[in-house]
Structure 1
Amino acid sequence: MKKPRSLTSRERNLIAIYSQCQLGMTPRQFYAKWGVTHEEIAFICSRSNSTVRGWFKRDKSRRFPTAVDLRHLAVMDFLLEHFEEIPGELRSLLCPPSQS
């Protein structure tokens, strides 16, 4: 088994920057910006359709997305805006082809 690589100070700084990153987009913001359905938002966030419907309710039974859900939507927004600008090699690392 190969020993893990030690982190450099540059890499530790990147971790510190990333840990403070407040990357997030609400389901309402994403829905308003892109012509998506609640089902597509559920697919992006790996949530059930009923969970996502709960995010859009306005009554006391309303559910709230997690920080992970907000990050998924922000990353998807970024990809929708910039996917073609990302070099192919980097796209392959970011979104590897499925190995069925």
Structure 2
Amino acid sequence: MHRPSSMTEQQRQQIYSFIYSKIRIKFQEFLSRWDVTHDFIADLYHCDVTTVRSWINKNFGDSASQRSHQFKLFIADLILSDFEGLPDNLKILFCPDWNR
């Protein structure tokens, strides 16, 4: 049986740096950059359109529970704005069906 690898202190610090990074985009900022439908946002978040409309009407905030959503928006924004500039390994990671 394979034994899991242990993390070095440097790797642990890198992971924590990632966890607490500001790599995210706010909902309203994303909507101001991209002309997307509520259905698109619902697909991105794996929720229903009613939930998205509720967020829009309530000014989707910056609570800790929303950070994972903001991270997804950041990735979507990165893919939309500079997909060709990404290294191939990230293209494959973000878009597994991408063909070179």
TM-score, L = length of structure 1: 0.78
How far off is 1:27 after superposition?
A: 2.0
Question: Is there any run of 5+ residues in structure 2 with no aligned partner, and where?
Answer: none
Seen in structure 2, the aligned counterparts of structure 1 residues 20 and 77 have a Cα distance that, compared at 3 Å, is: same
Partner of 1:51: 51
Q: Distance in 1 between matches of 2:89 and 2:24?
A: 26
CA RMSD in angstroms, aligned pairs only: 2.1
Note if 1:92 corresponds to 2:92.
Answer: yes
RCO greater where, 1 or 2, for CA within 8 Å and sep 6 or more? 2
2:47 is paired with a residue of what secondary structure? coil
Letter matched to residue 10 of structure 1: Q
Question: Is there any run of 5+ residues in structure 1 with no aligned partner, and where?
Answer: none
On the 8 A contact 1:26/1:70 being kept in 2, the answer is yes
TM-score, L = length of structure 2: 0.78
- In the comparison of the two structures, how many residue pairs are matched? 94
Letter matched to residue 24 of structure 2: G
How far off is 1:73 after superposition?
A: 0.8
Q: Distance in 1 between matches of 2:51 and 2:25?
A: 17
Richer in helix (by share): 2
How far off is 1:36 after superposition?
A: 0.6
